[in-house]
Structure 1
Amino acid sequence: MEHDTHSEHTGHAGHDHGHQHGHDHAHHGGGKVSWAMAAKATLHCLTGCAIGEVLGMIIGTTLGWGTTPTMALAIVLAFFFGYSLTLWAVVRAGVGLRTAIGVALAADTLSIAIMELVDNGVLLLVPGAMEAHLSDALFWGALAFAFAIAFLVTTPVNKWMIGRGKGHAVVHQYH
């Protein structure tokens, strides 16, 4: 199996066109979208969310903040890093900053919002997770569990959006 050097070069593995994997370009809208394509888009989203979430939780926990301000910071940072990954790749592809911002917003907003809603909802439901310290296995275990559930919930949404030319499908035209 060949490696897709284009997605590696752009640092945007979540946008692998899958040429070496037998996928067609139906994912640009209206056609059949593979679960692999949707999972890659969701993994891209999860990466940005995880960076922001972990950083927010570390900052909030270290500063002794309560649940609400810690979660608020984690969510803001998740959106920031989620958008930044797409923005960075699209700008590297030669798109102007104003257009790239629009692409990132169109590509990632719903995916990140669902990821954050599910992820934080799960964290709130795990007893003691929000009170756990960074050195506690419960902190990291609950976070990993929440990310896994968020990934499972967000992947079908991304599959549906890509199949309609929305979400991460918007980014493909700039590669």
Structure 2
Amino acid sequence: MGHAGHGSHPATWRMAASATLHCLTGCAIGEVLGMVIGTALGWGNVATIVLAVALAFVFGYALSMRGILRAGVGFKQALKVALAADTVSIAVMEVVDNGVMVVVPGAMDAPLSSLLFWGALAFAFIVAFLVTTPVNKWLIGRGKGHAIAHAYHH
């Protein structure tokens, strides 16, 4: 029998896009909050990015856990499911969107009140969504990523 029951699962682009949008929501909340806090405290780019990435993971996991906890799962198990379901997706999203922000000329030094900052951030999120969606489709198709949490949404 070995790995019977494991392996391929139906994965549609719609499912992948939905999982990625969910990930993007948590990442965006954390990123923006981190940028606002870092800027308000006068931190440099590296410290601000570290805070933004950390908060993106926190909010990404929290959004996943919310649905899992609502399904009656205990906190410890919900955390395990969220970590298994979202870590790769959030990591890819963070590498891509922060990478885009770093390569857009002036974006990291632009004040929060500037169109350059918000335009670059919106562009970074779009690029991150486009890169992360196929990753999520691949993960879901193998019963990993968002597929793990999906069982708790019903």
TM-score bracket relative to the smaller structure: over 0.9
Question: Which of 125, 129, 149 is the aligned partner of 1:147?
Answer: 125
1:104 — aligned with what? Answer: 82
TM-score normalised according to structure 1 size:
0.82
How many pairs are equivalent?
148
What displacement does 1:33 show? 1.4
Question: Counterpart of 1:130 in 2: which secondary structure?
Answer: coil
Instruction: For structure 2, list consecutive stretches of 5 or more residues without a partner in the other structure.
Output: 1-5
Find the counterpart in structure 1 of residue 43 from structure 2: 65
> Aligned runs of 1:50-61 on 2, under 5 Å?
50-61=28-39
| Distance in 2 separating the partners of 1:102 and 1:135 | 38
Which one-letter code corresponds to 1:170 in the other structure?
A: I
**Structure 2 residue aligned with 1:120, among 78, 98, 109?**
98
For 1:93, which of 71, 75, 85 is the aligned residue? Answer: 71
TM-fit CA distance, 1:29: 5.3
Root mean square deviation of aligned Cα: 1.1
Is contact 1:50-1:78 (8 Å) kept? yes
Identity across matched positions, percent: 70
**Equivalent in the alignment of 1:16:** none
Normalising by structure 2, what TM-score?
0.93
Q: Deviations over 1:90-122 (max 9, x none)?
A: 001100111101000000000000000000000
Residue type matched to 1:41 in 2?
A
Q: Which amino acid aligns with 1:33?
A: A
- 8 Å Cα contact 1:48-1:78 kept in structure 2: yes
Matches within 5 A, 1:19-58: 30-58=8-36
The 1-side partners of 2:60 and 2:150 are apart by: 17
Query: 1:31, CA displacement in angstroms?
Result: 3.3
Residue by residue over 1:125-172, the C-alpha shift from the partner in whole angstroms, topping out at 9 and shown as x without a partner, is 001001000110001000000000000000000000000000000012
Q: Secondary structure at the match of 1:132?
A: coil
Determine which structure has greater relative contact order: mean sequence separation of CA pairs < 8 Å that are 6+ residues apart, divided by chain length. 2
Aligned residue number for residue 8 of structure 1? none
- Partner of 2:59 in structure 1? 81
4+ runs deviating over 4 angstroms = none
